[in-house]
Amino acid sequence: MSKSLITQDIKVRVSSVLNRDTKQFGRKFLFDGNDETCWNSDEGSPQWVKVEFPETVFLTSIHMQFQGGFVGKTCTLEGQSSDEEEFDLITECYPDDSNALQIFPVKDCEAIKRLKITFKESTDFFGRVTVYKLDILGYISS
């Protein structure tokens, strides 16, 4: 049974934060569950989010909620099972330019320790991406 893999033990990095204002737009707001807060990237493409899990996991779906007009239109999910390996493509997804929560199923994902979500381009002319919610569902590898 899949569940949220977001715990206090994950490590998160992002490509940028709007105006370096981490107090208002930092990575911690991706997973805080507050509808009023968000991660907002600075200008430029691509933008990315890297998540390191405390244990090896299998992904089943990714849930993302963007701000319309600041959506990562082309998105790749890449996984890494160990430090020595390169990131391998898991899947691509194409979010709608919408404020709605969007769910992207992940099929046939091998066990990973790290996930990289790359927004190759944005609906924003300047390449900014705004994410209000990000949840990663799956299960821990036994």
Kindly provide the residue ranges of all beta strands, DSSP E only, lying in the chain, ordered along the sequence: 3-4, 11-14, 39-40, 47-66, 72-80, 88-93, 101-105, 112-122, 130-140
| Rounded-to-integer distance, Cα 136 and Cα 103, Å | 10
pLDDT per position as a tens digit, 89-99: 999 999 999 99
pLDDT per position as a tens digit, 78-89: 999 987 778 999
* Cβ–Cβ under 8 Å, residues 115 and 81: no
- pTM, entire model: 0.94
Average of per-residue pLDDT across 119-132: 97
Closest CA to 49 of 134, 138, 142: 134
Fold for the domain defined by 3-140: Jelly Rolls (2.60.120)
Written as one letter, the residue type at 81 is: S
